[in-house]
Amino acid sequence: MMYKRYHDVREFYDAVYDLLMEDEANNLIPLGNVLIGVKGEDKFGWRDPANWFMATVSDDGGVQLVAIMTPPHNITLYAKDNKIDATAIGCLIDNSTDVPFPGVIALRNLSFTFAQAYCAKNGLQHETAMELRCFELTEVNPDIKQFGTLRLVNEGDMHFFPFWAEGMFAADVYGKTTMNIPQDYATYLHRINSRKVHVLEVDGQPVSIAAAHREMVTVCGIGLVYTPPYFTRRGYATSCVAQLSQNVLDRGFKKCVLYTDLANPTSNSIYQKIGYRPIGDSVNLKFV
């Protein structure tokens, strides 16, 4: 096995892009990150590739394992053909001892296999931060009841958008019922200026948000889905995601892809009603 560390994101792109594209939907996260780095248009926050960890493990048959970490996030892995090679995992761990990994996210079996080997070598334990399911959609259910009008968020939405964004991260990412009070104006303005976040308005009132991001070749990701508690159970989130998904398909993408927390049966049910179908389970593990 041959380990290679990359410091040039373009070189890393050339080495892994075709391999990651073999499973475009499940590789939405690493593919999106690599493309962000190559374009170099957005270096806000974690997006500057100068701070990334990028590596591959290869044999005579080519690259067998891809690894990318965009601090402070966990390392993300992909194994060729989704086949786990313990030797490749060991090679990656043995050659990256100078880089502390806070955790790992990958398809379920790969994530656990890596975590067990990494923790054994470093005297750590792993805990499940979140179990995820990847869904894809090729056609929106035409029977979904639609509400209001979908539009891009703008600076005029700063009176509510930062709070809704924090609410989404608190509930969906961290599993909390409380949230941080937004402090950094630039962070939320950056999201607005990215022109990826949409808000659903009903009778002129914002009721739900969702974002179309990580645009690949045939796939576009859907995320940042949030409806404040006082507007839930009215079908607004379903309508928002359905309208945005149709918008993405109308733009020429063949598939919409999103990730859900398996601990949230409500969101999993909503997305399947819209037309999303499960294609793979991932696990986000943290090392302690």
Query: For the segment 254-284, what is each residue's pLDDT rounded down to a tens digit?
Result: 999 999 998 888 788 889 999 999 999 999 9
Sequence-distant (6+) residues with CB within 8 A of 152 are 195, 197, 198, 199
Whether 172 has a pLDDT exceeding 60, the answer reads no
The amino acid that residue 207 corresponds to is: V
Whether 181 has a pLDDT exceeding 80, the answer reads no
The residue ranking higher by pLDDT, 265 or 164, is 164
Q: Which residues pair with 255 in a beta bridge?
A: 219
Mean pLDDT of the region 94-112:
97
Q: What are phi and psi of 57, to 5 degrees?
A: -125, 125
Whether 173 has a pLDDT exceeding 80, the answer reads no
The residue ranking higher by pLDDT, 220 or 169, is 220
| Torsion angle defined by CA atoms of residues 75, 78, 84 and 88, in that order, rounded to the nearest 10 degrees | -70
- Distance between CA 251 and CA 52 in Å, rounded? 31
Q: How confident is the model at residue 167 (pLDDT cuts 50, 70, 90)?
A: confident
Mean pLDDT of the region 186-202:
93
Mean pLDDT of the region 181-202:
89
Percentage of the chain with pLDDT > 70?
Answer: 96
Alpha-helical (H) ranges within the chain are: 9-21, 28-39, 86-94, 108-122, 161-168, 185-193, 236-250, 265-274
Q: How confident is the model at residue 36 (pLDDT cuts 50, 70, 90)?
A: very high
Confidence (pLDDT) at 71: 96
Confidence (pLDDT) at 265: 81
Rounded to the nearest integer, the mean pLDDT of the chain is: 93
Locate tokens 């598939």: which residue?
255
- Distance between CA 112 and CA 118 in Å, rounded? 10
Mean pLDDT of the region 226-243:
94
| DSSP H or E segment with residue 57 | strand 53-59
Mean pLDDT of the region 169-182:
60
Confidence (pLDDT) at 219: 96
